[in-house]
Amino acid sequence: MDKFQEIKVFVTVAELGSFVSASQSLRMSKAAVSRYVSELEKRLGVRLIHRTTRRLSLTPEGEIFLARCREILISIEASEDEIQTHGFTASGTLRVTGPVSFGIKHLAPLWSDFLRAYPSLKLELELSDRVIDLVDEGYDLAIRIGQLSDSTLISRTLTSTRLVLCASPDYLSRRGAPNHPSELAQHETFAYSLLSTGDSWRFIGPGGAVDVRVTSRMRSNNGDTGVEVCLRGGGIHLWPTFLIEDHLRSGRLIELLPEFRAPTLGINAVYPSRKLVSPKVRAAVEFLETRLSQSSWASI
């Protein structure tokens, strides 16, 4: 039997959990699906799937083999993408996900130019601050800010953004400005709930690293909400320059303790680990790197 077809059938059965569902998806008889899996198990000399009248489940060997087979199918798909439409033309549908505030403020103005540059591409964009599983949910590319934890993905830094400790003039007139990060515990602070360090803020000052634990009266998973709270005198927070550049320049927000620098965050393009990167993903990454690296907030 065709080894590639065996792998394709096995993966479909494993992912759908049913020979009947797999036969419908692959448009072949249930008997043919069962035969492909049985021949694969016979050739490998191991059982891959436990079969009962009620359900199917993978054996430990089946779990390992499924992971390898998925890598094979992904590699084949990437190879096909690489040579389609004159070999290296970006085409097809590009599925992208990115964070909400950054996506609206800084990615949205770029997409029309991107689509104009690549007329054979279609774009599907989802903005969400949750960490999406690119492989399971079928995304080609993600824009992520900060530390990356998934080592199975490939990443490329597009640009960076500095975290700035700041407050409004109204807040500072009422409460005064801290003279050292250690005084932040006595101030009102706003908590961005998706900040990877949580309520522990780190600064690098003249004497080295300073870690501060803050207690916030308000917490939100949306940066725009937090910035608005701070603009209206609601406290002190660490904000990325891409969110507050205009407010810093206008004086509506004042940078505090500039001699104590908070970490710089990478703005990264992340895509599934593949030996061959499809032309559409490569085109998007290179386009975004060129345009975002020119942003004025990246140099503040």
Per-residue confidence at 88, pLDDT binned at 50, 70, 90?
Answer: low
Shortest CA distance to 106 belongs to which of 224, 280, 221, 229? 224
Determine contact, residues 65/254, Cβ cutoff 8 Å: no
With a cut of 70, say whether residue 87 has pLDDT above it.
no
pLDDT tens profile 291-300: 998 888 887 7
**CATH number given to 3-83:** 1.10.10.10
In this prediction, residue 85 carries a pLDDT of: 45
Closest C-alpha among 171, 140, 85, 179 to residue 284: 140
216 token code pair: 């916030």
Mean pLDDT of the 77-92 span = 65
- Cα–Cα distances in Å, from 245 out to 85, 110, 163, 220, 295? 42, 18, 11, 21, 10
In this predicted structure, what is the pLDDT of residue 277? 77
Where helices occur in 84-158 by DSSP H, the ranges are 100-102, 108-117, 134-137
Q: What is the band of 151 on the pLDDT scale with cuts at 50, 70, 90?
A: low
- CB contact at 8 A, 13 and 56: yes
What's the rounded Cα separation, in Å, for the pair 146 and 63?
32
- The pLDDT tens digits of the residues spanning 113-122 come to 999 999 999 9
C-beta of residue 207 within 8 angstroms of C-beta of residue 259: no
CATH T-level assignment (fold) for domain 87-300: D-Maltodextrin-Binding Protein; domain 2 (3.40.190)
Segment 183-206 shows an average pLDDT of 87
Residue recorded with tokens 């709930």: 193
| Backbone phi and psi for residue 128, each to the nearest 5 degrees, phi listed first | -160, 140
- How many angstroms separate the CA atoms of 227 and 234, rounded? 9
Per DSSP bridges, beta strands 56-58 and 218-220 are unpaired
Report pLDDT for 232: 95
Residue-level pLDDT at 274: 58
**In the predicted model, what is the mean pLDDT of residues 42-46?**
90
Per-residue pLDDT of 239-289, as tens digits, reads 999 999 999 999 999 999 999 999 889 999 999 865 567 889 999 999 999
Q: How far is residue 92's CA from residue 77's CA, in Å, rounded to a whole number?
A: 12
Q: Can you give the pLDDT at residue 1?
A: 55
Q: What pLDDT, on a 0 to 100 scale, did the predictor assign at position 81?
A: 60
Q: What does the mean pLDDT of the chain come to?
A: 88
Domain ranges for the chain: 3-83, 87-300
Distance (Å, rounded) from C-alpha 142 to C-alpha 140? 7
Instruction: Please say whether the beta carbons of 231 and 223 come within 8 A.
Output: no
